[in-house]
Amino acid sequence: MRQLEQISLELDEYEAIRLVDHEKMDLETAATHLKVSRATCARIVDSAHGKVAEALTEGKAILIDGGVFSFVHNRYRCGNCGHLWPGRRREIGSGMEADRTPVCPSCESDDVLELGDYLYQQRGNRGRGRGPAHGR
């Protein structure tokens, strides 16, 4: 993958196509979730579709990066079986961070990646967002 040319898909573009294409929301509902107008949501989805199409047709890697974002609930991914599930409400810096390792509800593995922490560590304070607590 490192040898491929990359297309940068911003987090807001990723979230827009996740809501519209994966969750099957209409643009109005997705726009409400994104806290933007319907027209802005449509522009974001169109931009994301163009980037994904370019990556698929030209054999480029998709790098999800940048954008304005916040985590309302943490998410976890199992390193063993790939299962993805939501966690409890995430409060950065409040002392509520997990004090034990989560276990996959599908295969009971403890090889679990906490995606909220992972994205925050990888993103830091770069881009337009200010980390997971942005927007609260």
- At residue 57, what are phi and psi to the nearest 5 degrees? -80, -25
Specify whether 60 is located in the same domain as 89. Answer: no
pLDDT of residue 131: 36
User: 92 and 54, same structural domain?
Assistant: no
Both 59 and 85 in a single domain? no
pLDDT of the residue at 71: 54
**Domain of 16, in residue numbers:** 6-64
Residues (pLDDT < 70) of the chain are 1, 67-73, 88-101, 116-136
- Per-residue model confidence (pLDDT) at position 64: 87
Cβ atoms of 110 and 101 within 8 Å: the answer is yes
Same domain, 87 and 52: no
- 134: in domain: no
> What would the two tokens of residue 61 be?
């890697």
Residue 88 is given by DSSP the state E
The domain that holds 90 is classified in CATH as 2.20.28
Determine how β-strand 61-64 pairs with β-strand 6-9.
parallel
Question: Do 11 and 56 sit in the same domain of this protein?
Answer: yes
Number of domains in the chain: 2
pLDDT of residue 74: 73
What is the pLDDT, as a whole number, of residue 127?
37
Answer whether residue 131 is part of any domain: no
